[in-house]
Structure 1
Amino acid sequence: MAVLRPGRWVRHLAVPAVASLAALTTALTTAPAIPAAAGTVAAGPRADTDVIVAYTDAAAAERAVAAVGGTTTRRLDLVDSIAATVPASGLRGLATASGVRTVTPDGSVRLKAARWRADTDENSLYSIEAGNGAQRVWTMKDAAGRTVTGKGVGVALIDSGISPVEGLNAPGKVVNGPDLSLEAPAVVTRHLDTFGHGTHMAGIIAGRDTAVRAGYESDPRNFTGVAPDATLINVKVAAADGAVDVSQVIAAIDWVVAHRNDAGLNIRVLNLSFGTDSAQDPRLDPLSHAVEAAWRLGIVVVVAVGNDGPTATRVSMPAANPYVIAVGGADPRGTAVRTDDIVGDFSTRGSATRHADLLAAGKSVVSLRVPGSYIDINYPTGRLPSDPAQRLFRGSGTSQATAVVSGAAALLLQQRPTLTPDQVKRLLMTTTDKMPTADPISAGEGQLNIAAAAAAPTPAYVQTWPASRGTGTLEGARGSAHIADPVTGVELRGERDIMGSSWNPGVWSAAALTARTWSGGVWNGRTWSGSSWSGYSWTSRTWSSALWTGTTWTGALWSSRTWSDAVWDGRTWSARTWSARTWSARTWSGSCWT
């Protein structure tokens, strides 16, 4: 999900040279005594001072400050420190306390940008992959003797597109499926991520810098996704403003299912980092039926629970479907240890009946940036100011957590290609790290531990939930998420798809279960695009950041108005005439790209 809440970036504090603890203590204890309050016994002189406490364990350091009568005033997690005010009498005890590395005076400081380092940022992919065990899995071998990095596994990403920035531009890394977005007619934006969300997810799932050598995936100097050698299948549905109708998403899922076994694809995982607020029974909802059909045909579907927070009792659709893997977001609270992690305040709680199956890192996650995209322009504080290459971006949400789990599923499927989706889900859910301080409902089974899953025996496990029927309404599947004519404000509603074709749930739902909804480029009776999508992949020559000026997708290229009487005639597909309504606010953009 991409309804995001504020993250943060921190600049390095340049602290003066360290004074000796003895000298510091002496200076402080000569300060004037503080008079005792009336009716109390004076305990002798007390002088408080501001200090910087460098820690090896943040929680332990905070407890140590409190134990000597001090107060933590600020977390400085980027430099593994806290700022605190402590009495002089407690300095020696604090300096020798468990979890404390050094105590230095907090004199006059100045701010200066320090070069960003993945190994000192608890929200970098390097740190996330160290914590969830992905780096250990990369040293394992599959049955063919290859290291387990996702080789040969296709992960379909239905999102806002993928742009071939560094980390995603190696030949064969990304294969373009159909562009089903409203930007498809324009060559300059076709398949590319004008919004910025899809590329961020793609980097988390399978990014790999060209400088990364085989066997050195754990080098913090380079960017590496969870399954760095998996293939990404790019199915774009969302435009630069987030505009997308649920019928486009269903068509995209159907395309992935129909082409899962195409040469060179081997689509075993489907990532859906979004959802709607549909209130339909998941046994009836068409979006739910689409993902269940994919699951039954051998694709592990990983879906975000939503970003509606700890009071929301209903997860997003299609995470409401009990078969798929529903993912919530974890907050590391600024520490490398996982026992103090909690559920992110953005993550939908759900109910005892349906909630997140498990959690993965979702707070302030660092991934790849698309220069000039909507997110890049509208949320510039998401950029890392201390990143000299200015290629990284920080975002929070269950979107990011979902991408982490999709990468983990790809690792398992390379290691054991015969795993069924049910077995993958069982492995991931039964090998988690428990979260003793987290809410037991929203935390699900705990936090992802992919190394433990890879080391566990293959379970004999089959889910037996009632089968979905998919005979609900398309309008119900939209929930409150609609697109609209930007001129008149008239929204697309009712039982018609984005091309204006009538929706017949009985015909579609039966065809979805047997992967027969697409015929060439035709879906639901209309031609959407050509039929030769799967053979195209990028080279570094096909994209240049110079194209992304910020004005390419302002609407000037698609200014003709073709909406009439709330029905979009498929013949007007060549003109972009829709804008996002509530879908963008709920599931693609938000305030956490910071």
Structure 2
Amino acid sequence: MLGAGWRRVAVVLAAVVGFAGAPLVGSPASAHPAGAAAVVDSRVTGATTANVDVIVQKDSASDHGPEAAIEHLGGTVTRDLSIVDGFAATIPTSATGELSSLDGIRAVTLDEKMQPTGLLGGSGGGNSQAALKSVAPQEMQADDMWRAGYTGQGVTVAVIDTGIANVPDLAGRIVPVKNDLNLLQAPQPCLNLSGEPDCTDNYGHGTFVAGLIAGNGASSNGAWKGIAPSANVLSVKVAGRDGSADVSNVLAAIQWVVSFKDRYGIKVVNLSLGTDSTQSYTVDPLNFAVEKAWDSGITVVVAASNRGPDAQTISKPGDDPLVITVGAVDDMGTPGLGDDELPDFSSHGPTAADGLAKPDVVAPGAHIVSLRAPGSDVDVQFPTYVDGAYRKGSGTSFSTGEVSGAVALLNQANPSWTPDRIKFALMATAHNVASTDAMAVGAGIVDVNSARTATAGLANQGVARSNGLGSLDLSRGSVLVTLNDPMGTLVNGTLTAQNLLWNPLVYTLGLWNPITWYTTDAAGSRWYGSRWYGSRWYGEVDGSRWYGSRWYGQATGSRWYGSRWYGSAWYGAWE
């Protein structure tokens, strides 16, 4: 669990980020006081070669003294690694004894250039290397739905994320959006609430998620398909290249989706994000918003988060009893369920504030292959690709995308079904997998084809709704932030979701008026004073900075899922 002293922005998109380098030290328990001696990996000082490749983490990203110090020792800086506030270097082994005394350096670790365990190639990881195409559609019985004629045709899934790249696997199915606040503007490939000037996915997360929902495998002869390969996706961009996002942006995004759902045929909304807030769902504004979407007929699918394996680590709004909250399993690269494992990162229930059983279901979320966003931050930081157009990742973000695809299939097959009936059917027909702990896997892994013909029933009967009267600041979680939204307005920290407007006409005419929002200078719309960084995030514990980038895996140590930090993720790991 996150401590009260942590300083971080509230919304994280369900991802744990990893790269092919050495395990980097750093966790809340190993905070590094300024001026303390650097922690030096014993494999560095014990190297037997003339030179040794290392990764250096700095106390301050803006301090270039460590680079100069390494060069003074005869080393060469080979690559900037701003993702961990550090750099890669090659240094003479004879100079490694001096590393611990260098100013401004937090840690020095061996750069092993290790090959991640993944679906294609890599060392370790057992059967996961065997997969030559996605096995999630088989594990979830989506391939049976395809054979029955259901591919998501005519269903729109709203993806509230970092944007969606216009790539061949989604060609013609990214829904253009009319800007009702600027009628002279031509339709755009997203609703842009990010503060960036266009709809480009500069971070890379949203495109990856969209591929798992609706990719048709056009760039791989059908090998890497999403669960609903004919569905449409509508991009609601709430974050830019640095991953900046806030609860206020997500609220505005959900509000827009509800207001314009009929115009665009939106039946599903994917939220691969969350906060560590422990405010009760019964009063929380973000919970109120997702419930508003649910009650309007939109099935809301939310990531459980990547803070497992501890209990009470479900993020908000995945803690809401109405929505479908999704955890992850590792399919081991095979279509059978018998060898599936429970990855440590997948969060466990019950919910912290209200003690509710979560997650509801699970889906494959480890070493998953999906679409790249060419030129995005993730694409540049982790340039390891699969079949050119794809990459690998792990996290509950990606399980969530798959379940959103499954919901799209059910909407096509049974267009009259309500969100409550869809949730009931998915949970009633799920299969136990990887664990018998319902707080880890919920009802089990989704079997969408069985759900299609499930006995009628409704979830969420008698469940109390949120009144939305709680604090927006508390909804953000462990840090209170004052961020300017993209429209140049400052969100009042005590704003409640009940102040939001939920129909197209009122949204268009009144969303940004002073009655609802406190107006400020539009020049602050990029949130420079308090933004957080999706790939270069750091936190503070008791005033000491730390860089959460430690590697972790299963208890056996045989598998890993990326480098873990809570503030910069969108609940997925890049490989």
Identify whether the pair has TM-score above 0.5, normalized to the shorter chain: yes
CA deviation string 1:477-504 (max 9, x = no partner): 111356xxxxxxxx52799997214366
For residue 378 of structure 1, the aligned residue among 378, 381, 398 is: 381
TM-score when normalising by structure 2: 0.66
- 1:121 aligned to 2:110? no
Cα 1:320–1:82 change in 2 (3 A) is closer
Q: Deviations over 1:61-110 (max 9, x none)?
A: xxxxxxxxxxxxx99975899999xxxxxxxxxxxxxx9xxxxxxxxxxx
Per the alignment, residue 148 of structure 1 pairs with 150
Q: Given the alignment, which residue of 181, 186, 190 partners 2:194? A: 181
Native 8 Å contact 1:431 1:452 kept in 2: yes
- Percent identity for Structure 1 against Structure 2: 35
- TM-score, normalised to structure 1, is 0.64
User: Could you report, residue by residue, the CA deviation over 1:200-246 in whole angstroms, capped at 9, with x for unpaired residues?
Assistant: 001110112457xxxxxxx9644421111111111100011111121
**Is 1:4 equivalent to 2:4 in the alignment?**
no
Pick closer, same or farther for the CA change 1:345–1:444 going to 2, 3 Å.
same
* Partner of residue 354 from structure 1, selected from 357, 369, 380: 357
- The range that moved more, 251-260 or 448-457, is 448-457
Q: CA deviation at 1:454?
A: 1.6
Matched, 1:233 2:245: no
Q: Check conservation: 1:329, 1:361, Cα contact below 8 A.
A: yes
Instruction: Please state how far the C-alpha of 1:157 moved relative to its aligned partner.
Output: 0.5
Partner of 1:339: 338
Alignment of 1:403-482 (within 5 A): 403-435=401-433, 437-461=435-459, 463-480=461-478
Structure 1 CA distance for aligned equivalents of residues 118 and 289 of structure 2: 45
AA paired with 1:251? Answer: A
Contact 1:238 1:244 in 2 (8 A): yes
Cα distance 1:510–1:463, how it changes in 2: closer, same or farther (>3 A)? farther
Q: Could you list the runs of 5+ residues in structure 2 that have no partner in the other structure?
A: 1-12, 22-115, 178-188, 538-565
1:157 aligns with 2:159: yes
1:178, CA displacement in angstroms? 2.0
Q: Residue 210 of structure 2 is aligned with which of 202, 206, 212?
A: 202
2:145 to 137, 162, 167: 137
Q: Which amino acid aligns with 2:193?
A: L
Counterpart in 2 of 1:519? 507
Amino acid at match of 1:592: A
Query: Separation in 2 of the partners of 1:355 and 1:225?
Result: 25
Q: Which residue does the alignment assign to 2:274?
A: 275
Counterpart pick for 2:369 among 355, 366, 370: 366
The letter of the residue matching 1:4 is V
Relative distance call for 1:75 and 1:268 in structure 2 (3 A) is closer
**Partner deviation per Cα, 1:126-146 (whole Å, 9 max, x = no partner):** x11122111110121xxxxxx
| Cα distance, 1:78–1:230 mapped onto 2, change above 3 Å | closer
Equivalent positions of 1:55-66 (< 5 A) are: none
Describe the shift of the 1:394–1:367 C-alpha distance in structure 2 as closer, same or farther (beyond 3 A).
same
Amino acid paired to 1:163: A
Alignment deviations for residues 446-477 of structure 1 (CA, whole Å, 9 cap, x no partner)? 11111111232333555221111001111111
One-letter amino acid matched to 1:588: A
CA–CA separation in structure 1 for the residues paired with 2:571 and 2:290: 25
Give per-residue Cα distances to partners, 1:327-362, cap 9 Å, x unaligned.
001112344320232322111112262320010010
Task: State the alpha-carbon separation in 1 of the partners of residues 434 and 303 from structure 2.
Answer: 23
Alignment pair present for 1:586 and 2:574: no
CA distance in 2, matches of 1:527, 1:169: 41
- C-alpha distance in 1 between matches for 2:289 and 2:348: 24
* Match in the other structure for 1:499: 489
Q: Considering only CA atoms, is the larger Rg found in Structure 1 or Structure 2? A: 1
SS in 2 for 1:519: helix
Residues 521, 272 of structure 1: alpha-carbon distance in 2 compared, 3 angstrom cutoff: farther
**Given the superposition, is the C-alpha separation of residues 231 and 371 from structure 1 closer, same or farther in structure 2, using an over 3 Å criterion?**
same
User: SS at 1:337's partner residue?
Assistant: coil
- Equivalent position of 2:243 in the other structure: 242
TM-superposition CA deviations, 1:255-307 (whole Å, max 9, x none): 00000001xx1111000000011111111111111000100111000000110
**CA distance in 2: counterparts of 1:371 and 1:379, whole angstroms:** 11
State how many pairs are aligned.
423
How far apart, CA to CA, are the structure 2 residues paired with 1:369 and 1:328?
A: 23
1:261 maps onto 2:262 in alignment: yes
Structure-1 separation of matches of 2:484 and 2:122? 54
Return closer, same or farther for 1:284/1:591 CA change in 2, 3 Å cut-off: closer
Give the letter aligned to residue 191 of structure 2.
P
User: Greater RCO between the two (CA within 8 Å, min separation 6)?
Assistant: 2
Contact persistence 1:474–1:494 (CA under 8 A): no
8 Å Cα contact 1:155-1:410 kept in structure 2? yes
Q: Equivalents in 1 of 2:223, 2:484: separation in Å?
A: 48
Amino acid at match of 1:419: W
Report the equivalent of 1:304: 303
* C-alpha distance in 1 between matches for 2:380 and 2:485: 35
Q: Secondary structure of the residue that 2:358 maps to in structure 1?
A: coil
Q: Distance in 2 between matches of 1:181 and 1:77?
A: 32
RMSD of the TM alignment (CA)?
Answer: 3.6
Aligned residue number for residue 30 of structure 2? none
The residue number in structure 2 matching 1:286 is 285
Deviation per CA, 1:337-392: give whole Å up to 9, x if none: 202323221111122623200100100110001122111122234x23xx2xx211
Sort the Cα spacing of 1:503 and 1:522 in 2 relative to 1 into closer, same or farther, 3 A: farther
1:354 is paired with a residue whose SS is coil
